[in-house]
Amino acid sequence: MYGTDLAQIYDLVHRERGKDYQAEAETVAAVARAHRPGAARLLDVACGTGAHLRYFTSLFDRAEGLELSEPMARTARAALPGVTVHPGDMRQFRLDATFDVVTCMFGSIGYMASEAELGLALEAFAAHLEPGGVAVVDPWWFEETFMDGYVSADVVTVDGVTVSRVSHSARRGTASHMDVHVVVAEAAAGARHFVDTHVISLFRREQYEEAFRRAGFTVEYLPESPSGRGLFVAVRT
């Protein structure tokens, strides 16, 4: 999961699929500043290749990332010289800093395998926020909104590299299992194939809200967001 193969094609695929990282980053900045007008310091947890961080760096005085996968973090550091990307696990990180805003985008919170892990992550977010600071979380699909059997397919070509990505997601118990099949083809190198399997929890909306409250936040859910899954906006009390 999120090894070198996936890190190499991640940006290319999502950009060409039309994911609008700039619009998402601007939405996050606006909703965060609605609660904390002078917000200047942001931490993007599970920042991946830094696709939101690229825009957060111009929307905030200081923006840093935290990422579990070394290949993803390496890609982010290469793309964003001078931007700090901490190695770390959202369930147990401790940085020597606090922020006005902590973000966790593109369903990354769904990698928490249980409500207990969800609680640990939100407690870690709270521990890195100033009182009155804001956590903005783009959740994975809820148990009630997930489409069992969902298939997604894209073929993109950029700079002589063609990538086909086909995924299938199925509900197994309280998690979605997503198999992602990727073929990468280049004229000189030929074609190669890899498969990545993701197990992403299908928490219910109330489970997220309860976990935020337990971690010391007041929380609201905004159903409209560029990602389509809504956004949790939570203020550290």
| Site residues (vs ligand SAM, CB under 6 A) | 2, 46-48, 51-52, 67-69, 72, 89-91, 105-108, 111
Nearer Cβ to ligand SAM (185/229): 229
Task: Kindly state the smallest distance separating residue 4's Cβ from ligand SAM, in Å.
Answer: 12
**Residue 8 half-sphere exposure toward CB, CA atoms < 13 A:** 12
**3-class state of residue 233 by DSSP:** strand
**Residue 142 half-sphere exposure toward CB, CA atoms < 13 A:** 15
Task: Kindly state the smallest distance separating residue 139's Cβ from ligand SAM, in Å.
Answer: 12
Report whether 157 contacts 164 (CB < 8 A): no
Nearer Cβ to ligand SAM (108/169): 108
Nearer Cβ to ligand SAM (2/232): 2
Task: Kindly state the smallest distance separating residue 37's Cβ from ligand SAM, in Å.
Answer: 25
Task: Kindly state the smallest distance separating residue 31's Cβ from ligand SAM, in Å.
Answer: 16
Task: Kindly state the smallest distance separating residue 55's Cβ from ligand SAM, in Å.
Answer: 11
C-beta nearest to ligand SAM: residue: 48
Nearer Cβ to ligand SAM (71/185): 71
The rounded distance, in Å, linking the Cα atoms of 63 and 132 is 18
Sheet holding 99-104, edge to edge: 85-87, 62-67, 41-45, 99-104, 129-137, 231-236, 217-222
Nearer Cβ to ligand SAM (133/139): 139
Instruction: Please measure the distance between the N-terminal and C-terminal CA atoms of the chain and give it in whole angstroms.
Output: 35
Token pair of 9 as six digits: 């094609």
Cα three-residue angle 117-3-85, rounded to 5 degrees = 70
